[in-house]
Structure 1
């Protein structure tokens, strides 16, 4: 029985049309009350009535009974109550046998007349692919899709078969299948011990031996009798009356009297009964189900699993599923066992492409190891459970199983609330990783740890917790994806490979035929030799177990008479075979296309997956869709809900490719294989399905708006859907409309806070890991929502401003300076107003009431607003620096320092919170002053900052360590000319710290350091080779010493790393990448290697051409540089026409820019004129050359441009490597060290 989730699943069995009214009462009266009752107690109730809302019991594929039995089995593994039966005076529909063994069928033919024999053979055809060889009932096609026409055929076939069977010598057990109703078949499977124990029941009894003694005590039976004298037709009584009475009597004897209801009633009209009994019907069933539910909840409470026990159960369930049908893979399994026995101290990394069977191999290795080793074995499959999706949860669970407790560092209340979520999360995980590493190294017992699929971890992980060398008593095996088609997900393997030298790749699967035959055998199927050969030829193009599973799903329907390349085909790739599988759901299996699209689209849009209950709830919100897919042709669909049988048929076909994980007390269905996700998310209608599920979720939020946020998943789902939708489709108007649904919905304040918190957590995590475009999507969702809430109530002011600031900060990281600036300027005005107005000041209350009790609300509110003001001043300063407004930046930095210093000194006993702002303010002002040539003041502030940091940073916890390293860097630059010895010492000290930080988390620190103020140095981008952390410093030193070749090697290595980042996120990394391309082009040109230089310059030009078109203001400076450089290189390569065109283009653009802002664009315009003049001279166009020279002389004679013009004029083209930049009102920085860093990281 499944009590690891809080779901009750009740199968309803009965005959068909004679229980129409009872079914309606169940659906409209009883089940809604039970659903609400369970929901209040934190459980889900899911009734399974396959006969509700459909016109007949038969299915086109002739497998209705098979589907019913599978649903009974699914319910029986859930807690009681799981089966309810209603019986009347009809025995019910007797389905035709779908399969009749060949010997049996041919025996029956001997007892059939020639005409009937011919008729029977027209519907049953022999299939050698069935085991044993059998005759298969054809699917209903063409005219027989019409049920009325089919009914005539079905009745004739049944009569022929039953007559033949009655006159045969077949065993009675075999004869029964020709005479037993679907309802009695369900009772046989659903009630122990109603009849002979079925194969499935034997499996249940192996798990729970006492089931046979208790099962019947938890079944409810409703038995209805109609007075014969009132009968008006055969709707309620037919010629099988006696058989129906025997069935009722036998079943009633099995059930407890207290769990049955017997009633006698009369037929009033042809289609109705006297219905007074329905009140008792409602009362009895509601009472029974509630009693069963209460009993089970009490059992759950008494026998409640701990979180660890539940995790282990769910992990074991996943493992068992993965080793089903496992074959082959001996080589990799042997390597794993060899690792267990050898003296190698490093962890073992198993890697392979998608679909190669990594999880199954790990599962099998765990099983094998358990059979031969006495060591303690701990295993986790990432993503199999809610607590195995993040590194921290995963490792915490493993440590708990090892009886090791690791608690996070605790700060005081004020600190906990005022530290940013990003800082807390990042510092916490780094410190946590160190602790885990320490605990692993301290293990004394013999331990084996398996961790599968680290590529499915939802956070970035540098595996700081994983020791390079383990204690001799510990072995760790980790599996990871390595697949060129999934580069982003393969980054985890790349990180592990650079850390751990012991890794092995899974070879192509070498037992496809054996696996295919096993999968087919389990369904009593096989293949003919020519079909087998065809499969093998197709398989050899892919060679993965996933392909075999996908192919088996198609091959199971191949008949022995099907001809290769005519009747049957298989695709040549995993993605294509997935596409065919989805197509066949409609074309072969007759599922409604719109239903398939909705279900698949909804599951993919939900990201984490959906439960059956949620899928049905979402589908049922679309009443027009329900009318289309299930018109009222038989039952009046009073509930206007999807008939369950329609979903159940589809679920039966897709179930083999869905995984189940327990999350939020729900069994969530999701596609485990990436190929399904890729195919579905790229379907042309996916945006429409996204919008449909969003609208459906809106209805369900409204339906449940009187309930707590955490009582269901609709609020969480809506938050996730909006963030992902905005990220994928960028439809701002549509998203704002979706956000207004929340802000204008009148929801409880606590509900809204939890909803906002849900999105905020995701946005922070994405921003922290530098997934900036997606972070911006989630942060905008909060911003749009809070903006509307604020318009309705000032109580949301503070959170609104915080959301605006978060959006602006992400825009700033994306170099969208003016957009960020506009938002922050509005924020500053608002914050100043809030500080001065009591009503706005206290609008912070919804935020702090949630986290702090019994505090000075007014005082704390002031702290919140002051903190916001300081952070906004920081952001504004950064924006103005980026726009070359140095004077404004200094003004803002001074104001930020004034505020920070005041509160830092005011709270001498508790400086923790204000210290961060104070340090940032000191560092920012020092940087700004340095850029303004106020060197002495810059050094003074930077040394003050460094003094505080030296006394407070902590490398073990990570607290302030990054700030300390950056402060060392900055001061080293400030002292470069006045005190070069100290400068070098500080630089080396900083480098040592930063190297360790990069080795721990390059994804975090590469971007953080790229985005510091323009005078801070980045030490490196990745830890793939430790020496790369030193690249930029070494480049300066080597080049300064004249070691050009060595310097260029370092720079070439550097660009590979940046290119890798650019490929993953070209929106953010384009600026950095093209700057380095330009630098390398300059280096090569300076060494007269023009052919090689042109390759880098052409790539920079190509990238910048696209970006310049989309955003002229942000990219003009780099674009004109790229045009200028490439034109010059083309000149040296004698590509005169190309050079002419580029110079002409450069001059046209530079002229317009110069006209818009002469100070800012003087240099670009001057260079463009100079180069164009040289080009005209080369072509002999001397009049045009003279025009350019005249304009140059005019510029040089202008006093405003005198300094820069002189410098430009004196620079030799042979020394173009020594780039200079005119920054901040004519201040010119010379020397490649400054220029290189400013050029790349400004």
Structure 2
């Protein structure tokens, strides 16, 4: 039933990214697990990468958030957000295991939240007016003072039922614990996605400070016990591994590490085998995979869609009428044509009284290797029509246009089929010169010739008022707000241009996501933005500061020069660039035998650039294009 809905153009259950990898997030405290982390990078992850590629032709990626986080992230309290965001991506996009947890005797570092909902903040503020909160914090550094104040205020708010216990716990919880709670929540209905490893050191009292929590030791110890008990209750016992050893005993430690690495590899491998077996039936279905690729593109495009009622009313009038010649959406690049086409997939069924009798077929031409010329998309469309209406699939496709016309005639009279083709201009030149060579001249309703009439609907850029409305809708969607002075920074961008295209507005909005409520001085470079090209340059500058200038700019240059690379190829090329490696290893030195760019660094860049990158499958290998 689910597949039938996909064939009919119902894409609600499909993500906005193709699942083509096992993406594993490794969660543990930092200072006391260096040996395990380094050993995994050196000995285990390469084996899993090779296994996934050879056995299932999928990628294996890992995220170890200890690697490469710039000081800028720590200074803005962004570390926790970055870790949780990457964990969410792994849970959403991994085909198998998505989180592995390693716990020993530390509960982990606890940071003040980077963002506090305004309702909670107002309650906290009312409690910090009590000066007794400040009596215990003299002599502490500013960060520690802030944490103490927030925790005490949260405790008092919770006692008075102003905030919930879960909201109170946000100010006491460690980074590792937040990752664990998030992983359990994300996988609530997804079995066999998490693995857990417990390490018990019998000589823990003889070990240095890096193996212990250094703040609120009694509370941290109890919180660690609670989180371990939760994991034992939530995860099947077969996927929990426990080790007991003396850390100072070198032989004991070596045996443990060897056993840990072997168990880790076998446990992840078992989960990969389990899930790939579940997906095997769909992997061989070429048509289903093609439809899913376009569905992913569709769902990605509608995430930031803003209603354009005047355009949709014209389209609705055309689609629900008896007109039987094609309709063309016209507009300059960046005006949102593709987003409109994607949104139509969701909207069109509601225009009919018999929703179940409406099918939509959408193809984003040029977005996949199989859609760069018109012949292959037409064959795919014919196959899909046959699947929807249970027709016999033609045995050959010598004359695709004729077969297409005959198939259309065979569609049941009580059914409605809407065909959406986006980016006609992306077709090969030979297919563009004369559309009548492949576009049917006869439709089921009459013998109208498409050469004699095309309905055109022009897609125009936003005016100033619409641009403001779009900005406010996006802010509301993300539960954010800007200060009055920050709105003033944006106003000139809307008045400098008579018309604002969605791409320009999207670039501006993405920059507001980095602003804080206490930012009062505008960035001069941002103030100088006038055109889309300026906004792109500014985006690059900001991402350079976040990821490192050398790493980010070289990544973009290699993508441009190559015309598209797989993620493994990107990592390999960056790992051969000495300037890139030198810039990365300033933040963390890798295992001695593995001087290589951590996969996590490219993944973070791709996540930030996702909406501006194109992903295509070449020989079943996903390749990224800029």
Instruction: Sort the TM-score into its range (normalised by shorter chain).
Output: 0.7 to 0.9
CA–CA distance in structure 1, aligned partners of residues 255 and 543 of structure 2 = 45
Correspondence list, 1:643-682, <5 A:
643-671=598-626
CA–CA distance in structure 2, aligned partners of residues 7 and 578 of structure 1 = 30
Structure-2 residue corresponding to 1:396: 379
Deviation of 1:435 (Å): 5.2
Cα distance change on mapping 1:460 and 1:597 into 2, 3 Å:
farther
Unaligned stretches of 5+ in structure 1?
121-150, 193-200, 202-210, 410-430, 477-495, 672-1242
Structure-1 residue corresponding to 2:420: 450
Deviation of 1:351 (Å): 0.9
- Report the secondary structure of 1:91's partner residue: coil
- Report the secondary structure of 1:451's partner residue: strand
Cα distance change on mapping 1:522 and 1:670 into 2, 3 Å:
farther
Deviation of 1:348 (Å): 1.1
Correspondence list, 1:709-858, <5 A:
none
Cα distance change on mapping 1:167 and 1:443 into 2, 3 Å:
closer
Cα distance change on mapping 1:626 and 1:310 into 2, 3 Å:
same
Give CA-to-partner distance per residue, 1:1085-1136, whole Å, 9 cap, x none.
xxxxxxxxxxxxxxxxxxxxxxxxxxxxxxxxxxxxxxxxxxxxxxxxxxxx
Deviation of 1:155 (Å): 3.4
Deviation of 1:670 (Å): 3.3
Q: Does 1:212 align with 2:212?
A: no
Q: Does 1:172 align with 2:165?
A: yes
Give yes or no for contact 2:29–2:107 (8 Å, CA) kept in 1: yes
Correspondence list, 1:563-574, <5 A:
569=527, 571-574=529-532
Give yes or no for contact 1:92–1:182 (8 Å, CA) kept in 2: yes
Give CA-to-partner distance per residue, 1:1003-1028, whole Å, 9 cap, x none.
xxxxxxxxxxxxxxxxxxxxxxxxxx
Give yes or no for contact 2:106–2:212 (8 Å, CA) kept in 1: yes
Deviation of 1:629 (Å): 2.2
Work out which of the residue numbers 84, 97, 100 in structure 1 matches 2:100: 84
- Report the secondary structure of 1:191's partner residue: helix
Q: Does 1:10 align with 2:24?
A: yes
Cα distance change on mapping 1:230 and 1:118 into 2, 3 Å:
closer
CA–CA distance in structure 1, aligned partners of residues 460 and 87 of structure 2 = 41
CA–CA distance in structure 2, aligned partners of residues 55 and 260 of structure 1 = 33
Give CA-to-partner distance per residue, 1:800-854, whole Å, 9 cap, x none.
xxxxxxxxxxxxxxxxxxxxxxxxxxxxxxxxxxxxxxxxxxxxxxxxxxxxxxx
Cα distance change on mapping 1:48 and 1:556 into 2, 3 Å:
closer
CA–CA distance in structure 2, aligned partners of residues 436 and 93 of structure 1 = 63
CA–CA distance in structure 2, aligned partners of residues 475 and 617 of structure 1 = 55
Cα distance change on mapping 1:93 and 1:57 into 2, 3 Å:
farther
Give yes or no for contact 1:390–1:459 (8 Å, CA) kept in 2: no
Structure-2 residue corresponding to 1:553: 510
Deviation of 1:292 (Å): 1.3
Q: Does 1:185 align with 2:175?
A: no
Deviation of 1:655 (Å): 2.6
Give yes or no for contact 2:441–2:448 (8 Å, CA) kept in 1: no
Deviation of 1:167 (Å): 4.7
Cα distance change on mapping 1:10 and 1:558 into 2, 3 Å:
closer
CA–CA distance in structure 1, aligned partners of residues 329 and 403 of structure 2 = 25
Give yes or no for contact 2:614–2:624 (8 Å, CA) kept in 1: yes
Deviation of 1:438 (Å): 6.3
Deviation of 1:99 (Å): 2.2
Cα distance change on mapping 1:504 and 1:633 into 2, 3 Å:
closer
Deviation of 1:611 (Å): 4.3
Give yes or no for contact 2:379–2:397 (8 Å, CA) kept in 1: no
Q: Does 1:50 align with 2:102?
A: no
CA–CA distance in structure 2, aligned partners of residues 303 and 639 of structure 1 = 37
Give CA-to-partner distance per residue, 1:1197-1231, whole Å, 9 cap, x none.
xxxxxxxxxxxxxxxxxxxxxxxxxxxxxxxxxxx
Deviation of 1:433 (Å): 4.7
Give yes or no for contact 1:87–1:224 (8 Å, CA) kept in 2: yes
Work out which of the residue numbers 411, 420, 440 in structure 2 matches 1:467: 440
Deviation of 1:624 (Å): 4.6
Give yes or no for contact 1:8–1:79 (8 Å, CA) kept in 2: yes
CA–CA distance in structure 2, aligned partners of residues 546 and 535 of structure 1 = 15
Give CA-to-partner distance per residue, 1:740-778, whole Å, 9 cap, x none.
xxxxxxxxxxxxxxxxxxxxxxxxxxxxxxxxxxxxxxx
Cα distance change on mapping 1:539 and 1:117 into 2, 3 Å:
farther
Structure-2 residue corresponding to 1:109: 128
Give yes or no for contact 2:42–2:591 (8 Å, CA) kept in 1: no
Correspondence list, 1:508-527, <5 A:
508-510=461-463, 511-527=466-482
Work out which of the residue numbers 109, 113, 116 in structure 2 matches 1:97: 113
Work out which of the residue numbers 534, 548, 551 in structure 2 matches 1:595: 551
Q: Does 1:334 align with 2:313?
A: yes
Give CA-to-partner distance per residue, 1:1169-1219, whole Å, 9 cap, x none.
xxxxxxxxxxxxxxxxxxxxxxxxxxxxxxxxxxxxxxxxxxxxxxxxxxx
Unaligned stretches of 5+ in structure 2?
1-13, 387-392
Larger Cα-atom Rg: 1
- Report the secondary structure of 2:273's partner residue: helix
Which has the higher relative contact order, 1 or 2, with Cα contacts under 8 A spaced 6 or more apart?
A: 2
Deviation of 1:316 (Å): 2.0
Give yes or no for contact 1:660–1:669 (8 Å, CA) kept in 2: yes
Give yes or no for contact 1:226–1:264 (8 Å, CA) kept in 2: yes
- Report the secondary structure of 1:595's partner residue: helix
CA–CA distance in structure 2, aligned partners of residues 152 and 659 of structure 1 = 46
CA–CA distance in structure 2, aligned partners of residues 227 and 408 of structure 1 = 71
- Report the secondary structure of 1:275's partner residue: helix
CA–CA distance in structure 1, aligned partners of residues 482 and 171 of structure 2 = 28
CA–CA distance in structure 1, aligned partners of residues 114 and 58 of structure 2 = 38
Give yes or no for contact 1:508–1:544 (8 Å, CA) kept in 2: yes
- Report the secondary structure of 1:402's partner residue: helix
RMSD value, Cα: 3.5
Q: Does 1:349 align with 2:328?
A: yes
Give yes or no for contact 1:50–1:644 (8 Å, CA) kept in 2: no
Give yes or no for contact 1:623–1:641 (8 Å, CA) kept in 2: no
Give yes or no for contact 2:320–2:351 (8 Å, CA) kept in 1: no
Correspondence list, 1:196-595, <5 A:
201=186, 212=188, 214-215=190-191, 217-228=192-203, 231-238=206-213, 239=217, 240-268=220-248, 274-304=253-283, 306-373=285-352, 374-403=357-386, 404-405=393-394, 407-409=396-398, 432-433=400-401, 436=404, 445=413, 446-458=416-428, 460-461=430-431, 462-463=434-435, 464-468=437-441, 470-472=443-445, 500-510=453-463, 511-528=466-483, 531-532=486-487, 535-540=490-495, 541=497, 542-559=499-516, 562=520, 569=527, 571-586=529-544, 589-595=545-551
CA–CA distance in structure 2, aligned partners of residues 466 and 637 of structure 1 = 61
CA–CA distance in structure 1, aligned partners of residues 453 and 136 of structure 2 = 71
Cα distance change on mapping 1:290 and 1:570 into 2, 3 Å:
same
Give yes or no for contact 1:230–1:267 (8 Å, CA) kept in 2: no
CA–CA distance in structure 2, aligned partners of residues 568 and 448 of structure 1 = 43
CA–CA distance in structure 2, aligned partners of residues 347 and 657 of structure 1 = 30
Give yes or no for contact 1:55–1:633 (8 Å, CA) kept in 2: no
CA–CA distance in structure 1, aligned partners of residues 130 and 223 of structure 2 = 25
Give yes or no for contact 1:7–1:666 (8 Å, CA) kept in 2: no
Correspondence list, 1:754-1153, <5 A:
none
Give yes or no for contact 1:109–1:117 (8 Å, CA) kept in 2: no
- Between Structure 1 and Structure 2, the one with more helix by share is 1
- Report the secondary structure of 1:590's partner residue: helix
Structure-2 residue corresponding to 1:616: 571
CA–CA distance in structure 1, aligned partners of residues 104 and 511 of structure 2 = 41
Give yes or no for contact 1:610–1:668 (8 Å, CA) kept in 2: yes
- Report the secondary structure of 1:225's partner residue: strand
CA–CA distance in structure 1, aligned partners of residues 572 and 141 of structure 2 = 37
Q: Does 1:155 align with 2:144?
A: yes
CA–CA distance in structure 2, aligned partners of residues 305 and 227 of structure 1 = 51
CA–CA distance in structure 2, aligned partners of residues 326 and 622 of structure 1 = 39
- Report the secondary structure of 1:72's partner residue: helix
CA–CA distance in structure 1, aligned partners of residues 410 and 238 of structure 2 = 60
Give yes or no for contact 1:447–1:475 (8 Å, CA) kept in 2: no
Give yes or no for contact 1:512–1:536 (8 Å, CA) kept in 2: no
Give the stretch that moved more between structures: 375-384 or 29-38: 375-384
Deviation of 1:507 (Å): 2.4
